[in-house]
Amino acid sequence: MLAEIFQFVKNFNKEYKYTVGEKLKNETLEMITNIYRANSRAEKRELLQSARENIEVIRLLLRLTKDLKQIDLKKFIIINEKIEEVSKQLAGWQKASN
């Protein structure tokens, strides 16, 4: 998912590349960092919740990129499916850790 996001942000208009694009990349990196940290700690609950919040912000930003016509529908669907996979995995992991 991260690689896909980094690839399509490269093609954003200059106007959005350094605002929405950077925020999208940073939020994705933060999510991955939270997942890594949760995986290496006994107390995972807070980090998993943070990762789930990150994924929701990523979804919001992805929709915004579509509305701003920075991503075509096909690419939007592909990335949205990956986001959904990660979201389901996080939800399951969070449920199992509770």
pLDDT in tens, 50-74: 999 999 999 999 999 999 999 999 9
pTM of the model: 0.91
Q: Dig out the tokens for 78 from the structure.
A: 């592909």
In contact, 55 and 90? CB cutoff 8 Å = yes
Q: Which CATH class is domain 2-97?
A: mainly alpha
Query: How much is the pLDDT for 98?
Result: 76
Q: Which residues of the chain have pLDDT under 50?
A: none
